């Protein structure tokens, strides 16, 4: 799926057996991009980048679960882009192969990540930027990314596995915390505009307003 606007261009590729939404976001003028959650199918992601003629500024990870980081190494090798993830999820990142094995899958160990993401950090690409919002609960280092698209295009939130359409991320895996994820959603996500589009880590899009009204897991 591709979206062309006055702001950045966006291509969403559901990848891997768990269909993680990998988002390629770029400035159509400068062709500079960021990739959010290259979780699997590295050659497919690299081909999409090459076909669009993009230069990737960073690989941004919403968290360290294997289905969101599995292609980090191959995409980094293909693009030369740095791998960015919150430091609190480094133990998960380093255990990529072990995580995959627990689910009956195989993954090669990932190369060491680059500079850790910081809460409220702005990561630029061309004329645009995303802001990292530390939203722990699904994992200790879970991070959402808020696109600042400027005055001529609508912003977008990339929520990873923190917030889904009518659901929230599971908290029964290592580092999960139900109270913490609910606090992250209420205090960092539900304070954003109701009309804000949310690209989730899996499944369909939603909006902040829809989830405030209809998400059965979060009561405001």
Instruction: List average pLDDT for each run of 10 residues in the chain, which is 220 residues long.
Output: 69 97 97 98 98 98 97 97 98 95 88 97 96 98 91 88 98 95 98 97 98 91
State phi, psi for 179 to the nearest 5 degrees: -60, -35
- Helical pair 42-52 and 72-79, crossing angle rounded to 10 deg: 30
Q: How far is CA 46 from the centre of its chain?
A: 17
Check: CB of residue 95 under 8 Å from CB of residue 65: no
Nearest-CA neighbor of 215 among 114, 206, 10? Answer: 206
Instruction: Give yes or no for a contact between 184 and 119, defined as CB atoms under 8 angstroms apart.
Output: no
Check residue 2 and give its pLDDT. 47
- The verdict on residue 210 lying in a domain is yes
- For position 9, what pLDDT does the model report? 96
Q: What are phi and psi of 99, to 5 degrees?
A: -60, -50
* Residue 99 domain-assigned (yes or no): yes
User: Any idea what the CATH number is for the domain that residue 160 is in?
Assistant: 3.60.15.10
Helix ranges (DSSP H) in 9-149:
42-52, 66-69, 72-79, 90-94, 96-102
pLDDT for res 137: 98
Rounded to an integer, what distance in angstroms lies between the CA atom of residue 198 and that of residue 29? 24
Q: Is 198 exposed, middle or buried (0-12, 13-18, 19+ CB in 10 A)?
A: buried
d(CA 31, CA 55) in angstroms, rounded, equals 6
Residue 81 lies in a domain: yes
Tell me if 58 is assigned to some domain.
Answer: yes
Domain count, the chain: 1
Give the model's pLDDT for residue 109: 84
Q: Both tokens of residue 199?
A: 């690209």
The residue segments making up the domain with residue 67 are 2-214
Contact call for residues 142 and 169 (beta carbons, < 8 A): yes
For residue 121, what is the DSSP state? -
Residue 100 within a domain: yes
Has residue 220 been placed in a domain? no
């Amino acid at each position: 799926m591709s979206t062309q606007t006055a702001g950045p261009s966006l291509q969403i590729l559901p990848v891997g057996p768990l269909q993680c939404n990998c988002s390629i976001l770029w400035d159509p003028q400068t062709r500079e991009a960021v990739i959010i959650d290259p979780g699997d199918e590295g050659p497919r992601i690299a081909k999409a980048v090459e076909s669009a003629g993009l230069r990737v500024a960073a690989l941004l990870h919403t968290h360290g679960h294997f289905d969101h980081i599995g292609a980090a190494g191959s995409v980094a090798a293909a693009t030369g882009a740095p791998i960015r993830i919150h430091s609190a999820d480094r133990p998960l990142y380093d255990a990529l192969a072990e995580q995959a094995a627990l689910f009956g899958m195989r993954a090669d160990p990932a190369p060491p990540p680059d500079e850790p993401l910081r809460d409220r950090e702005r990561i630029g690409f061309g004329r645009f930027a995303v802001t990292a919002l530390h939203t722990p609960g699904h994992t200790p280092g879970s991070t959402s990314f808020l696109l600042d698209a400027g005055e001529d295009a609508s912003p977008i939130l990339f929520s990873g596995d923190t917030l889904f359409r009518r659901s929230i991320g599971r908290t029964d895996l290592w580092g999960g915390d139900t109270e913490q994820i609910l606090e992250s959603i209420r205090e960092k996500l539900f304070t954003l505009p109701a009309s804000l589009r949310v690209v989730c880590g899996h499944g369909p899009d939603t909006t902040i307003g829809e989830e405030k009204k209809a998400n059965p897991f979060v009561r405001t």
